[in-house]
Amino acid sequence: MKMRRLGRTDLCISAVGLGGWPFGGGYDWGPVDAAQAEKAVLAALDAGINLVDTAPVYGESEAFLGRILKGRRNQIILATKCGLAKNGSWTDHDLSPQTIRRQLDESLARLQTDYIDLYQIHYPDPKVPLEEALLELARQKQAGKIRHIGLCNVTAEEMSRAARIAEISSVQNEYSLLHPQKGEAVFKACRETGASFISYGTLCGGILSGKYKTAPNLRRADARNYFYKCYRADAFLKAQETSNRIKKLAEYLRVFPAAAAVAWALSNQTVSCALTGARTAEQILQNAAGADVTLTPQDLAFLEGRPCTCTK
């Protein structure tokens, strides 16, 4: 597994990371097979994946990972988040200092650790100035509860503001072949500040792994219905065009489609890590293989559906 430095820190993170959302059972992803999920996490560690990313709002994900990773803490870079909380069928934004402190302490308890390697603001809170939240995170960093600060789902302007308040080690935004524009705006800010860019949604909830031949009949409450909009009937056919290109190239390269999709994200030199979710050990290995796939300019043009103007 290839490793990249996390921002300007002394930590190195795996080029492919493990996203913990599917392990939580929240947002109606469906029931979690605990034994199978444990095998998936252990397969990730065996494959050299060391960045494990989760969040309180993911349901039971933190508690599950805390149990599985107990005794293996020195093998992983543990990342979690603050600022979101489930409130019935709603998700509330709250980055007030008191909520940050409470959520951090609760995460530490669930994860069975006394520090978080990368503590991230999950989403900006329109009610709380970003600067106020960052000052609280800086206090928690000074107290030793967190080692490094990250941001998720931010604009380039928010990233630049944040970097004037605290040292920002990473930005985690959605970035994939289906949504390349969602990462581009902050790439320059990451390069200017030395922060790592971590992509999430790299497989768009699995659609870019080639697992669906027809639009799946997802439950109404399933997060993929509203978070990854490519599952909607009006967008699925267009998403399939991209998925089919991935499958064709993957067949030519003799790799898994998921590996080709991950390799596309990692071909961007600003992307330090591509987060992928998985439920099984097999999916983990397919995703992790993307770190070892090198795509040519011709491959990239084909995946992106644009004419290849490359010359030998």
Looking at the domain assignment, is residue 243 inside a domain?
no
Q: How far is CA 144 from the centre of its chain?
A: 24
Give me the catalytic one of 27, 58, 119, 123.
58
DSSP per residue, 56-84: GGGBTHHHHHHHHHTT-GGG-EEEEEESE
Give the pLDDT score at 312. Answer: 42
Tens-digit pLDDT profile for residues 191-231: 999 999 999 989 887 778 777 776 666 666 666 656 666 66
Instruction: Indicate the burial class of 92 (C-beta count within 10 angstroms; 0-12, 13-18, 19 or more).
Output: middle
Give the pLDDT score at 287. Answer: 94
Asked if residue 152 has pLDDT above 90, the reply is yes
Looking at the domain assignment, is residue 196 inside a domain?
yes
Looking at the domain assignment, is residue 312 inside a domain?
no
Q: How far is CA 187 from the centre of its chain?
A: 16
DSSP per residue, 163-205: HTTS-EEEEEEE--SS-THHHHHHHHHHHHHT-EEEEE-TTGG
Tens-digit pLDDT profile for residues 76-89: 999 999 998 877 66
Q: Is 115 a catalytic residue?
A: no
Looking at the domain assignment, is residue 86 inside a domain?
yes
Tens-digit pLDDT profile for residues 232-281: 667 777 888 888 899 999 999 999 999 999 999 999 999 999 999 888 89
Q: Highest mean pLDDT range out of 139-153, 167-181, 219-233?
A: 139-153
Task: Report the percent of the chain where pLDDT is more than 70.
Answer: 88
To which residue do tokens 């397919």 refer? 286
Q: How far apart are CA 211 and CA 265, in angstroms?
A: 19
The total number of structural domains in the chain stands at 1
> What is the overall mean pLDDT for the chain?
88
Tens-digit pLDDT profile for residues 13-60: 999 999 988 887 765 566 777 888 899 999 999 999 999 999 998 888
Give the domain CATH number at 282: 3.20.20.100
State the pTM of this model.
0.89
Give the pLDDT score at 180. Answer: 78
Residue 144 domain boundaries: 3-207+259-294
76 contacts 51 by C-beta, under 8 angstroms = yes
**Average pLDDT of the segment spanning 129-136:** 94
**Average pLDDT of the segment spanning 82-104:** 87
- Which of 204, 203, 186 is CA-nearest to residue 195? 186
**Average pLDDT of the segment spanning 84-109:** 88
Looking at the domain assignment, is residue 242 inside a domain?
no
Q: How far apart are CA 206 and CA 289, in angstroms?
A: 15
Rounded to a whole number of angstroms, the CA Rg of the chain reads 19
Looking at the domain assignment, is residue 97 inside a domain?
yes
Looking at the domain assignment, is residue 65 inside a domain?
yes
Looking at the domain assignment, is residue 77 inside a domain?
yes
Asked if residue 72 has pLDDT above 50, the reply is yes
